[in-house]
Structure 1
Amino acid sequence: MWFVYLDDVFWIGSGERNVKVRNIDGDPRVSVALEDGDAPAVAEGVARVHRGTLREDVLAALAAKYDGWAAGVEIAPFGARVLLEVPVKRWLLEGVAQ
């Protein structure tokens, strides 16, 4: 999962045809679990799929974190790029995974 965490929100880059996007369209309640050795981070939230024009600040943060990755560029066969916005509603484990 390629993501950034900005202002208490997980932003996840994905493709329109990925199963996680279809699942969120059907039921936006999600949990995010990130493993980092002894300090995992697990949170719950309600996701929103952003389609079309994607937020430039989020794309820039993804590019900075992942060495220039162009998160807005379509990758076959996954379809148009989308951003998944997951504001943290509740922390189950507040670790240090980044």
Structure 2
Amino acid sequence: MLADGTSRFVAQFAAPAAQHLAIERAGRTEVVLIDAASGSWVALYQLTGRWIVRQGGPEALWDAIEEQIGRWHMVGAPTLEKFTVTVTPEGQTIHW
């Protein structure tokens, strides 16, 4: 889900402060998302064709990311060219 650049962009809406990294552990690559501000984290790895997800901290980051990616897929997974960014003094909004 996070291998594609557009998917990562959409996932970032759900976890805007999270940092993405990959680590080698126990002979496999784990994808890790860490939100240092909240202390929340997610670690994902593939095992016999399934993805294993562990998460912790005060916010369920992976749940929020899955929900955001799901909404994006429900509308046909538009390409980045279909996104609109609006910036005002009150903040930033992104729509597709």
TM-score, normalised relative to structure 1: 0.26
* Larger relative helix fraction: 2
Higher RCO (CA-CA < 8 Å; seq separation 6+)? 1
Which one has the largest radius of gyration?
A: 2
TM-score, normalised relative to structure 2: 0.26
